[in-house]
Structure 1
Amino acid sequence: MSTTAGSGRVAVVAECARDAAVLVAAETAGGSGIGVICLRDDGKEGRAALDRALADASGRGCRVAGPPRFVTGEREAAIAGVVKELLALRPRRIRVPDPDPTHQDWDMEAGRPVYDEPDERAAAALVALRAAREYQVESSAPVLVDCRRTEPPTAHGAAVSCPRYPAVTGWLTEGFDGRSSAFLPSAAGVLRWTQQRRHGTAWDGPELLPGPRLMPGLRVVRDFSGLPHLFALRRTARKGGGDDIEIVHAAQYRTGHPLTPWHSLGSPNAGDAYKSRETGFPAAGFDAAGGLVVFARNFGHSVSFREQRPEGGWSPWRHLSGVRVADELVTVTTHKGEVELLARVRDSAAVVRWHRPAPDGEWAEDRTVPIAPRAGSMAAGPEPGTVVYRDLGTGEPWLWYLGSTAPVPLGGAAGEGPVTGVRGVEADGWSYSLLVRPDAGGACAVGAFAEGRPDAGVWWNSLAGAEPYGVPAAVLDRTGMVTVATLTGEAQLTVVNRESRTGGFEFGPWYTA
């Protein structure tokens, strides 16, 4: 999850003060209380860099929870020390480094990848993630984790960070009984909120769902029946030392009931102590025939996929040749029910598209996609065959129909991260597509345009009263009711219902679940 707005208590856990300074700079939410925990004292210069970052954060309206805390010792002692400090700080959000950085080269003599950052940084992230899990279990409260990649210093000399895992979209779903469920990742696993009755404002949760040792990311995909399927990354220890990363999948068939067991799909580079750790975050899509395709970036920075046809089992992992991509994949289902893949090109704002004429056909690569998105902003659009993204230069949302010559601007450049929504919303006898996104000043914005006609203009309205952390979500139930939900910086679910099923786009008050 990326922080866009919303105050709350946040802890930064890093290997040293200099690394902590980069993570502190990522906190843009005014009113946040920031505590810093370091596993090593890197001296006067590191502490000075952290002091400057904390001073800048104070200038943005953040509150600093005392001087940085330094925890020393071997792994188990360090984990216990971080847990102790977290219990003292009581954060609801924890920001840590990237536990599985991307390699930059390969050392042929040593037989291992070459990274442009120290091994200690990733080791510190693993200590922080283990401590965050234990802290959540001990405190019995939801804890959100934001893993951050550390990018090289910019031309101005400052390093920046960006999310390791994609923002969660489509996390609000409706079940067969008309009640909705919300799924979001936490330090200790997947959290679920369940609506007590259809159209109601009372929800049960958050419930920590049983499951394996998951990394703090989640992909929620609905099949053609509307059932939610969850995809995540699981870390498992190797017998010879180190860890493997594999893709896992579970589904919810009845609202409020247990998930199916988590099923391992392996990874494109399974069994390799180094390559497995760089498994990209999965993207998945269902086609009209009921087939499921799962994609992931592999160690070589290309795309691999595995699929399950309705009449059979899973195929082995296969590789798509072509341009090298970043760990940012989005699936889009067309009007014909075909699954297509969009991926941001590595080290570039360009996007490449893969499509095929039939489920048993060969994938074709298209490098003529006419969009340039900001990193982390792409998401499937509300209508079939569409993708919504933020323009690289302006941050304004745009919508592109697959195969069209040019995208369409949607207006409303405030906020950051993906813009999502639903289609088929009735209003005054017309069918509309509805969009949701974070707005400026810590609000949630709702937009609407005539279905199929975004070029005719988008009407945006800010729904004050809730401060979103991450990406808001919307669901249209089978009776035509629209519910919008967001998570606050204190990890509380807040929801608002449209006042009319067929009238205007007015919404009632926000309710805390």
Structure 2
Amino acid sequence: MSTAGPGRRVTIVAARHREAVALVAAEGPGAELSVLCVEEDGKDGRAALDRALADAERRGCRVTGAPRTVGAPDGGGHAALLRELRTLKPQRVRLADPDPAHVSYDEERELPVHDEPAENAAAALTALAAVREHQLESGTPVFVDCHRAGADARPDAASQPRYPHPAHWLTEGFDGRLSAFLPSAAGVVRWTQREPGGTAWQGPELLPGPRLMPGLRVVRDLYGFPHLFALRRIPLKDGGDDIAVVRATQYRTGHPLTPWHSLGSPNSGNRHRSREVGFPAAAFDGTGGLSVFVRNFGHSVSYRHQGADGTWTPWQHLRGVRVADELVTVTTAGGETELFARARDSAAVLRWYRSGPDGVWTEDRTVPFSPRPGSLAAGPEPGTVVFRDLRTNEPCVWWPGARGPVPLGGADEGAGPVTGVRGVEAAGLPYSLLVRSGPGGACAVGVHAEGRADAGVWWNALPADSAVMPATVRDRAGVVTLATLTAGSQLGLAHRESPSGGFEFGHWYTV
């Protein structure tokens, strides 16, 4: 099973040829690339794209045909894009940022100022609508990456997706069966394990959720129910869109979700400010309370809290340093929620914590590490955060009270978050198991004694690649399962061969 071989069909849609250059450069080896442009471009733009496509071929991509212009500013782009998508049948689509962050604000006109051409966002929204329609017609999931644009000037920030794929997209339900959730162009798709511990699955199944953006956060509560968080576009009467944070819950594995409940946003009702709301991060504390955080229009943090009794607070503001759209929540051993955020204008990380669900949030600016953009994630052990070092790319773990981060090895391999699970037993001792992406989508598993990452991590490559961040879960029976997404958009799975022996995994199978 490999995503690096031929057959990963990727279509890039851009406003013009020059805007497609960065999207082509972001694609790794092994893709069959096609490029669609909404508008015609000049000679220089076409030449720049030709060079980018030649570079892509040298690194192992296959370019299928010359770039094609399919639409025009008169509104004919949607139908033309849909016709091309029906022919190309892409498995993945790369787009520009439909909602770029502003770089300044025009006080006189009360409008945000962007350094991205407005046609980029317009083309991305047109393409999103066309890809959604194509997926609904074909019944086959299409996965979308929106290339981030806006005010974050840190190295590599622009290469990160606007709507992140979930890090913990494989999860155990209340009845012991596993579910896999991934965001697609037309909404969330789900695969469901038929029996606890079994290898028979059903899916992919498209879950209802109109106009969801192609990102997802999956969080389990204290009872084992998975909660899904996303962003949804809602048309406004005076034009434009409001973007709201929405949440749905799966109470019965394999059964319909609850309806998507809107939590609004800190800038709700303003079509210019609302569209820049960041992607939500969420966590349950030890009392069952839920906190949801987003980056707001002013590039600081806003949050809502739902108490154990179900009562929600209004959106509240955490003052402090401006942050990038990269928030991570962790739950400590004492059941308290903490928030980490990468700073927008420096290499720093900010931390907010409080004592108890009614305590006052305190900002901590002394976090002693600088992460690569897009690499922050909650660690498998309570209160820990895992990231890739900004200078070396090496995965590291840190927790409050530690003098500095602990390196985990694998500095030269891969990008993106590192996640995992704890409590994996071997020879009567507990271990933490880590998973990460390697070059070209390759996957690796690492193991260290629980609570002793400083004693060393043993990394092993997996005989599988993944088009998204690989995921892992340990179920209540102690069985560890790994999940990937294959080049053909199938769910790939493997189970640990022994629940208490070594860390070898059995044969991989797809569903």
The alignment's TM-score, normalised by the length of structure 2, stands at: 0.96
CA 1:131–1:38 in structure 2 vs 1: closer, same or farther (change >3 Å)?
same
Answer whether contact 1:223 1:229 (CA < 8 A) is retained: yes
Write the distance in 2 (CA, Å) between the matches of 1:50 and 1:274.
Answer: 31
CA deviation after TM superposition for structure 1 residue 470, in Å: 1.6
Answer whether contact 1:252 1:259 (CA < 8 A) is retained: yes
CA 1:6–1:343 in structure 2 vs 1: closer, same or farther (change >3 Å)?
farther
CA deviation after TM superposition for structure 1 residue 281, in Å: 0.4
CA deviation after TM superposition for structure 1 residue 402, in Å: 2.2
CA 1:11–1:264 in structure 2 vs 1: closer, same or farther (change >3 Å)?
same
CA 1:378–1:286 in structure 2 vs 1: closer, same or farther (change >3 Å)?
same
* Matching of residues 30-69 of structure 1 within 5 Å: 30-69=29-68
Write the distance in 1 (CA, Å) between the matches of 2:105 and 2:301.
Answer: 19
Amino acid at match of 1:427: A
Answer whether contact 1:473 1:484 (CA < 8 A) is retained: yes
CA deviation after TM superposition for structure 1 residue 155, in Å: 13
Answer whether contact 2:36 2:67 (CA < 8 A) is retained: yes
Q: Does 1:282 align with 2:316?
A: no
How big is each residue's C-alpha offset from its partner over 1:274-308, in whole Å with a ceiling of 9 and x where there is no partner? 11011110000000100000000000000000010
Amino acid at match of 1:41: E
CA deviation after TM superposition for structure 1 residue 347, in Å: 2.6
Answer whether contact 2:186 2:210 (CA < 8 A) is retained: no
Instruction: Name the residue aligned to 1:11.
Output: 11
CA 1:125–1:425 in structure 2 vs 1: closer, same or farther (change >3 Å)?
same
Amino acid at match of 1:395: N
Instruction: Name the residue aligned to 2:451.
Output: 452
* Matching of residues 32-431 of structure 1 within 5 Å: 32-74=31-73, 76-150=75-149, 161-413=159-411, 414-431=413-430
Amino acid at match of 1:93: R
CA deviation after TM superposition for structure 1 residue 7, in Å: 6.0
Answer whether contact 2:435 2:472 (CA < 8 A) is retained: yes
Q: Secondary structure at the match of 1:455?
A: helix
Write the distance in 2 (CA, Å) between the matches of 1:72 and 1:46.
Answer: 17
Write the distance in 2 (CA, Å) between the matches of 1:416 and 1:171.
Answer: 18
CA deviation after TM superposition for structure 1 residue 453, in Å: 0.4
Write the distance in 1 (CA, Å) between the matches of 2:394 and 2:7.
Answer: 24
CA deviation after TM superposition for structure 1 residue 476, in Å: 0.3
CA 1:159–1:300 in structure 2 vs 1: closer, same or farther (change >3 Å)?
closer
Write the distance in 1 (CA, Å) between the matches of 2:292 and 2:336.
Answer: 13
Instruction: Name the residue aligned to 2:25.
Output: 25
Write the distance in 2 (CA, Å) between the matches of 1:292 and 1:6.
Answer: 44
CA deviation after TM superposition for structure 1 residue 492, in Å: 1.2
CA 1:5–1:103 in structure 2 vs 1: closer, same or farther (change >3 Å)?
farther
How big is each residue's C-alpha offset from its partner over 1:448-498, in whole Å with a ceiling of 9 and x where there is no partner? 11000000001111111x221121110101111000001123211100000
**Most deviating of 398-407 and 272-281:** 398-407
Amino acid at match of 1:322: G
Q: Does 1:507 align with 2:496?
A: no
How many matched pairs?
Answer: 508
Write the distance in 2 (CA, Å) between the matches of 1:343 and 1:194.
Answer: 33
Q: Percent identity?
A: 65
Answer whether contact 1:444 1:468 (CA < 8 A) is retained: yes
Runs of 5+ unmatched residues, structure 2? none
Answer whether contact 1:5 1:469 (CA < 8 A) is retained: no
Answer whether contact 1:4 1:438 (CA < 8 A) is retained: no
CA deviation after TM superposition for structure 1 residue 438, in Å: 1.4
Write the distance in 1 (CA, Å) between the matches of 2:187 and 2:135.
Answer: 10
Amino acid at match of 2:18: R
CA 1:354–1:7 in structure 2 vs 1: closer, same or farther (change >3 Å)?
farther
CA deviation after TM superposition for structure 1 residue 150, in Å: 4.0
Answer whether contact 2:293 2:303 (CA < 8 A) is retained: yes
Answer whether contact 1:184 1:192 (CA < 8 A) is retained: yes
Write the distance in 2 (CA, Å) between the matches of 1:67 and 1:164.
Answer: 27
Answer whether contact 2:153 2:344 (CA < 8 A) is retained: no
Amino acid at match of 2:78: I
Write the distance in 1 (CA, Å) between the matches of 2:230 and 2:407.
Answer: 32
Write the distance in 2 (CA, Å) between the matches of 1:109 and 1:252.
Answer: 47
Amino acid at match of 1:482: V
Write the distance in 2 (CA, Å) between the matches of 1:117 and 1:324.
Answer: 21
Answer whether contact 2:96 2:148 (CA < 8 A) is retained: yes
Amino acid at match of 2:447: A
CA deviation after TM superposition for structure 1 residue 176, in Å: 2.4
CA 1:254–1:305 in structure 2 vs 1: closer, same or farther (change >3 Å)?
same
Runs of 5+ unmatched residues, structure 1? none
Q: Secondary structure at the match of 2:160?
A: strand
**Most deviating of 419-428 and 403-412:** 403-412
The alignment's TM-score, normalised by the length of structure 1, stands at: 0.96
> What CA RMSD, in Å, does the superposition of the two structures yield over aligned residues?
2.0
Write the distance in 2 (CA, Å) between the matches of 1:23 and 1:140.
Answer: 26
How big is each residue's C-alpha offset from its partner over 1:216-237, in whole Å with a ceiling of 9 and x where there is no partner? 0000011112211000000011
Q: Secondary structure at the match of 2:78?
A: helix
CA deviation after TM superposition for structure 1 residue 371, in Å: 1.1
CA deviation after TM superposition for structure 1 residue 161, in Å: 3.4
Write the distance in 2 (CA, Å) between the matches of 1:274 and 1:53.
Answer: 33
CA deviation after TM superposition for structure 1 residue 152, in Å: 9.4
CA 1:277–1:53 in structure 2 vs 1: closer, same or farther (change >3 Å)?
same
CA 1:4–1:458 in structure 2 vs 1: closer, same or farther (change >3 Å)?
farther
Answer whether contact 2:13 2:37 (CA < 8 A) is retained: yes
CA 1:211–1:441 in structure 2 vs 1: closer, same or farther (change >3 Å)?
closer
